[in-house]
A and B are shown apart, each in its own frame.
Chain A
Amino acid sequence: MSTQEAAALAEAERAPRERRPRSGRGGAGTWVVGAYSLLALGLMLIPIVYTIVFSFNDARRTNIVWRGFTLDNWLGICDDARVCEAFGNSILVGVTATLVATILGTMIAIAIVRYTFRFRTLVTVLLFLPMATPEVVLGSGLGSQFVNLGVERGLWTVIVAHIMFCISFVVVTVRARVASLDPSLEEAGRDLYASPAQVFWRVTLPLLMPGILAAALLCFALSFDDFIITNFVSGNAETFPKFVYVAASRGIPPQANVIASAVFVLAILIVLIAQLSAGFRRRRLAKSG
């Protein structure tokens, strides 16, 4: 392309914008939309702030009225042994379910993007339906199956249920990553005499890792906060959300707010760090390239 042509193209691209200097949507409309959005965001933060503030409440049995600031709840999370145990159970369930669901889901995602197979539509529908079914139906279905089979319900049935609803979300998240994988990178590995296993472990898997990690985080978050399905399949076992539900009629101990707040802060930090580091990487790439 000659320099004149390039200049003409650049001119053509610039021209319309110069003729219409940010009219209409760039003006008052943007400010109204902006103010509305900030108001909505602000209101949505109120229940979160409330939950965090009341983790510092010097409450005794019911944590509804503000009685003064204290750090006791944060320093003695396990003063309420049931909260602590429920929290431990939730972590155990979340980690186990995430591990299994992420492996199963990643395998399906690779198969869907990379291979042709019979009953493809059927598999797609099978993956879609758990996401389109209300949780209460998933929960009561699995619950009644356990009742019909005479299975004792407990923590392991909760893990079984959480793996089930996580798989589809893992597939959806990892699938996009597999699809955007540049096949020439794996070809290069093969050209350099890597065995199929080496290509997978040293090229494919590391490249898929960001997607797999995102899926795992999503799965853990869904599992950790799930109450509706858990309630039907947990028997006497108690996860953190189930503890909160059961305690709601008698009053929630402030330690529950501490756990929720700590998890919230941790999650926000992880997301912030991920976002910022991605931003810096992009800027560095833009500079060097």
Chain B
Amino acid sequence: MAFGAFANTGPDLSAAAPRRRSYVALILLLPGVLYLVATFVAPLVSLVLTSFKEPGGDFEVGEYVYAFRWENYTEAIGRFGEIFLRTFGYSALATILALLISYPLAYFIGVSLRRFPLWQSLTLILVIAPFFISFLLRTLALKAIFADEGPVVPALQSIGILSSDQYLNGTAFTVVLGLTYNYIPFMTLPIYASLERLDLRYVEAGGDLYAGPAQRFWRIILPLSIPGVVSGTLLTFIPASGDYVNASKDFLGSTNTVMAGNVINDLFFQSFYPVSAAVSILLMIAILIPVTAYVARSGSEDLL
């Protein structure tokens, strides 16, 4: 169910008609599956092949030939090891912040507002509202808000949190805040979907058995909403770790906040394809390992 959060919550799959075996299935599947093989699997293979390429005979930039050059990987790790750590630090922090903000919000909409369907719909629309305005423009809006002449920096300086020569844009603070803000709906929606279906009689039963509010939360509400938390964490962490818009210097970052995505992007456009591909592969492996472990631990074998 990891990614089921975006699906309409309908009745159980078991309620559907029994599955048949027919050549029709092949006709239905083939076009889409072939398309994904050509545009998803083949590019991944191409990425792996590219990551082992070596410079071509005339050593022109952008000219590479197929080879087995392991050094692309050692170079990627050696040059960008610190950036990998930073990428994970930033995206983990953003994911935790998004969870801390989203959980109470999702509880409020999914449980507290349950008896007011109209308000529930309206607040839900507010949650997804950021989806509808350009991702880049809302990030630039954040940049303007945290600019030196914006409303926040002078206010923080006047109460002494920032000294007069300190700034916010281009620091880890704004990058993590941008990542949190941009991916928060991905966290809120799946948690909401879990809490909205939460059977409150379990919570009442807990109360009848003299569980206090804290116990009812930790031992009833939270465990029942874990599928939503797992989905939300993945849906936030994965895109955040590959993001390079927030961290780029024209947006909320600077040369001190470079993330793995920025490296992949910059090397690609400087035509250093092999090392860019090596960084991509390393990023993908580095994400798939914890994600697989996380999904396995939280017991969601059914991925879709």
The yes or no verdict on A and B being binding partners is yes
Q: Give A contacts to B, CB under 8 Å.
A: 16-17, 19-20, 23-25, 29-30, 33-34, 36-37, 40-41, 44-48, 50-52, 54, 64, 104-105, 107-108, 110-111, 113-117, 123-138, 140-145, 147-148, 160-161, 163-164, 167, 169, 171-173, 175-181, 183, 186, 211, 214, 218, 221, 225, 227-228, 231-232, 240-241, 244-245, 248-249, 252, 256-257, 260-261, 263-264, 267-268, 271-272, 275-276, 279, 282
Q: List, in ascending order, chain B residues with CB within 8 A of A163's CB.
A: 35, 39
A115 with B20: CB separation less than 8 A? yes
Q: Are B138 and A115 in contact (CB under 8 A)?
A: no
B25-38: CB near A (< 8 Å → 1, else 0) gives 11011011101110
Across the interface, which residues of B come within 8 angstroms of A64, CB to CB?
Answer: 144, 147
**Which one, B124-132, B156-164, B166-174, B222-230, is touching chain A?**
B124-132
Give complex CA distance A211, B145 in Å: 38
Query: Which residues of B are found within 8 Å of A20, using beta-carbon distances?
Result: 204, 207-208
Bound: A232/B33 CA distance, A: 23
Can you show 17 pairs from A to B with CB atoms below 8 A apart?
A33-B104, A34-B108, A40-B104, A41-B123, A44-B181, A46-B141, A116-B21, A126-B37, A130-B36, A132-B3, A134-B243, A140-B277, A141-B44, A172-B304, A245-B136, A256-B134, A272-B125
CA–CA, A260 and B141, complex, Å: 12
Residue B293 CB within 8 A of the other chain: no
In contact, B136 and A50 (Cβ under 8 angstroms) = no
Interface size on B, residues (CB 8 A): 107
Complex Cα–Cα for A54 and B239 (A): 28
Residue of B nearest to A278 (CB): B121
B interface residues, Cβ below 8 angstroms from A = 2-4, 6-13, 15-17, 19-22, 24-26, 28-29, 31-33, 35-37, 39-44, 46-47, 49-50, 101, 104-105, 107-109, 112, 117-118, 121, 123, 125-142, 144-145, 147, 181, 184, 203-204, 207-208, 212-213, 216, 234, 238-239, 241-245, 250-251, 260-261, 264-265, 268, 273, 276-277, 280-281, 283-284, 287-288, 291, 303-304
